[in-house]
Amino acid sequence: MAQMKIAKVITRSVLSRPATRLYPFEKRPFFRNTRGSVSIEIDKCIFCGICQKKCPTAAITVVKASKDWQINRLRCIACNACVEACPKKCLAMENAYSPAVVKKGADDAFHQGDKSKAEATQA
């Protein structure tokens, strides 16, 4: 009958499980390639500043003198430009999104610890 063409689709969706997921009890698994958030292995970083130049939203701040690397999570658009540009391959794109924040302005800061001090205490 021309009036109820959609009957087959609706009957099937009534009788089977819902198409939606009961978040937050069941979380959605991310794919391997998902561009979620940027992470850094701070010990490999040489503070060249190329990632800061390539970032289109100016989310990364690199300070060579004090060996600090900061990223503003709210400005980062997860475009992968910094990961592709890093010469030491210490940046990686994780597939989980960064968690929600309640206050703007706090950066995620990483600091490269003093290597010579660590060797002196070991010796």
Partner 1 sequence: MATRTIIPFGPQHPVLPEPIHLDLVLEDERVVEAIPSIGFIHRGLEKLVEKKDFLEMTYVAERICGICSFIHGQAYSQAIEGMMKIDVPERALYLRTIWGEMSRIHSHLLWLGLFADGFGFESLFMHSWRVREKLLDIIEETTGGRVIFGTAKIGGVRRDMDTFALNRIQGELKTIEKQCREITDVFKKDGSVQRRTKGVGNLSNKDAIALGAVGPTVRGSGVAIDMRKLGYAAYAKINWEPVVETGCDCYARCMVRCRELYQSFDMIYQAIAKIPEGPVDVKVTGNPSSEYFARVEQPRGEVIYYVKGNGSKNLERFRVRTPTFANIPPLVKMLGGCELADVPVIVLTIDPCISCTER
Nearer to partner 1, 17 or 117 (CB): 17
Going 7 to 8 to 11 to 13, the CA torsion angle's sign is negative
| DSSP code at position 81 | H
Sign of CA dihedral 116, 53, 33, 78: positive
Torsion of CA 107, 75, 35, 111, to 10 degrees: -20
> Cβ of residue 123: shortest distance to partner 1, in angstroms?
45
Which of residues 27 and 115 has its CB atom nearest to partner 1 in the complex?
Answer: 27
Q: How far is the CB of 21 from partner 1 (least distance, A)?
A: 10
Minimum gap (Å) between residue 72 Cβ and partner 1: 16
Q: Which two tokens mark 116?
A: 């010579």
Binding residues for partner 1, rule: CB under 8 A, are 2-6, 8-10, 13, 19, 31-35, 56, 77-81, 84, 93
Closer by beta carbon to partner 1, 34 or else 112: 34
To which residue do tokens 């968690």 refer? 99
Q: Please state the closest distance from residue 62 (CB atom) to partner 1, in A.
A: 18
